[in-house]
């Protein structure tokens, strides 16, 4: 399944773009599967993924949550508000 | 969402004094202004550029304010945060916490900021001069 992941702040800067398309194996991938695919698709992001979370449709998601093709997926990491 | 919480994302730096008077019954109003410093990670900057992921950012700030009101018993929380460029010396973040007594106001302020910096989808990027 092809998934588009939105990127922000330093992670967008690392990837050089505000979103990344990744290929995730299987028809019912989980958040954990997407994070693995992200680290493989954009190795430069790998070090920051352990302190990042995915948001699915603008809600923080758990590693076991399902990701569907129509979902809006965003990588929320290295936040620095305030 | 109750009227004891206000969250605003504002383009550019925040006004120097945009706050309302404290609600009746509050003996304490804690106002925290976050100001852009002239250095970021040891290097001189001319400002910080802030990015949000709306509407998730506003919702997460409101939910954080709700948790702080529930936990600390404070009366009102107002949050303002810049998006876009904020020059050095200008305010990029304002947190106003109103409470009956100062103890819970100071505790809620400190915990709100810690949690915001840990989880809320907001990012700052250094802007360097030429």
pLDDT tens for each residue of A9-65: 999 999 999 999 999 988 889 999 999 999 999 999 999 999 999 999 999 999 999
pLDDT at B23: 76
Nearest CB to A81 within list B55, B56, B81: B81
Q: Does A81 touch chain B (CB under 8 A)?
A: yes
Q: Does A14 touch chain B (CB under 8 A)?
A: no
**CB-CB neighbours of B91 under 10 Å:** 18
Q: What's the CA gap between B119 and B112, in Å, rounded?
A: 11
How close is the nearest chain B Cα to the Cα of A61, in Å?
13
Q: Are residues A81 and B50, on separate chains, in Cβ contact within 8 Å?
A: yes
Helix axis angle for B56-72 and B102-119, nearest 10°, is: 150
In chain A, the residue whose alpha carbon lies closest to the alpha carbon of B94 is A82
In chain A, the residue whose alpha carbon lies closest to the alpha carbon of B112 is A82
How close is the nearest chain B Cα to the Cα of A37, in Å?
22
Query: Nearest to residue A80, comparing CAs of A14, A5, A9, A7?
Result: A9
Q: Are residues B59 and A58, on separate chains, in Cβ contact within 8 Å?
A: yes
pLDDT at B118: 95
Q: Are residues A79 and B123, on separate chains, in Cβ contact within 8 Å?
A: yes
* Ranges of residues in chain B whose predicted pLDDT is under 50: 1
What ipTM was reported for this prediction? 0.93
**A12 vs A16, A31, A79, B65, B75, CA distance in Å?**
6, 19, 12, 28, 38
Q: Does A52 touch chain B (CB under 8 A)?
A: no
CB A60 within 8 A of CB A27: no
Contacts of A8 (CB under 8 A, 6+ apart): A18, A74, A75, A76, B51, B53, B121, B123
A19's tokens = 């979103």
Q: Does A49 touch chain B (CB under 8 A)?
A: no
pLDDT at B19: 61
pLDDT at B18: 55
Q: Are residues B81 and A82, on separate chains, in Cβ contact within 8 Å?
A: yes
């Amino acid at each position: 399944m092809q998934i588009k992941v939105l990127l922000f702040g330093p992670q967008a800067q690392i990837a050089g773009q505000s979103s990344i398309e990744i290929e995730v194996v299987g028809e019912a991938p989980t958040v954990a599967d997407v994070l693995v695919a992200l680290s493989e698709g954009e190795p430069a992001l790998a070090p920051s993924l352990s302190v990042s979370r995915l948001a699915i449709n603008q809600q923080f998601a758990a590693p076991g949550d399902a990701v569907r093709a129509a979902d809006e997926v965003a990588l929320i990491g290295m936040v620095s508000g305030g | 969402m109750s009227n004891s919480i206000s969250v605003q994302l504002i383009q550019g730096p925040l006004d120097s004094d945009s706050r309302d008077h404290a609600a009746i019954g509050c003996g304490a109003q804690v106002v925290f202004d976050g100001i852009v410093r002239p250095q970021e990670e040891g290097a001189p900057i001319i400002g910080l550029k802030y990015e949000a992921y709306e509407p998730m950012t506003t919702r997460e700030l409101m939910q954080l304010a709700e948790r702080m009101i529930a936990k600390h018993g404070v009366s009102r929380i107002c949050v303002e945060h810049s998006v876009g460029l904020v020059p050095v010396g200008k305010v990029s973040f304002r947190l106003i916490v109103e409470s009956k007594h100062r103890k819970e106001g100071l505790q809620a302020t400190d915990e709100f900021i810690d949690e915001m910096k840990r989880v809320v989808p907001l990012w700052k990027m250094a802007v360097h001069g030429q």
